[in-house]
Amino acid sequence: MHPDGERILFTGEQIQARVAGLGAEISSDYKDKELLVIGILKGAIIFLSDLVRSITVPLYYDFMAVSSYGSSTESSGVVRILKDLNQSIENCHVLIVEDIVDTGLTLNYLVENLKSRGPASLKVCTLLDKPSRRKVPVKIDYNGFTVPDEFLVGYGLDYNGRYRNFPYIMVLSRRVYEGGN
């Protein structure tokens, strides 16, 4: 484990097993349908990459980039679309793929924004759900793991752009983001 971590919350093997399970569940639910998977950049890219390889129905994917954090550890609540979709989602079966749902503010904004574009269906898949921090209710259709209120990094999750490449998810030491040594 990296020295900036307190402990590993999920190993690479645990993550891969859960991603395979999510892929099987999604494949079953979308049997005989084509799926448009929307990955939310940058955090969801690693999860999305593994997830789409475990989904057996025809699919294509696109990406959105949104910002509500900046360099802080707290969501500002103001969501900005930094990169929008390259294609229409009208009459498509859409699956939003997120790395983590925390306050729900960003996801709530995305769901409402995408619903207004006329998809045939819209569901949400997240690797991590942190319901203890929820500020607005959101519906999560596929959840990898429910996690405690700790700062998590690895497997796409970051702090100031660092730690995304780790194959596991660890609890980041408070000294890293609170400025201690």
Q: Please state, in angstroms and rounded to a whole number, the distance separating the CA atoms of residues 81 and 154.
A: 24
Catalytic residue of the set 102, 129, 141, 158: 102
Name which of 129, 121, 181 is nearest 18 in CA terms.
129
> Which residue is it, tokens 């569901």?
123
Q: Please state, in angstroms and rounded to a whole number, the distance separating the CA atoms of residues 126 and 145.
A: 8
Name which of 114, 124, 83, 97 is nearest 40 in CA terms.
97
Q: How open is the CA angle 96-153-52, to the nearest 5 degrees? A: 35
Q: Angle formed by the axes of helices 12-29 and 45-54, to 10°?
A: 60
Backbone phi and psi for residue 128, each to the nearest 5 degrees, phi listed first: -130, 140
Q: Please state, in angstroms and rounded to a whole number, the distance separating the CA atoms of residues 22 and 32.
A: 17
Q: Is the dihedral of CA 18, 21, 23, 26 positive or negative?
A: negative
Active site residue 102: yes
Residue numbers annotated as active site: 102
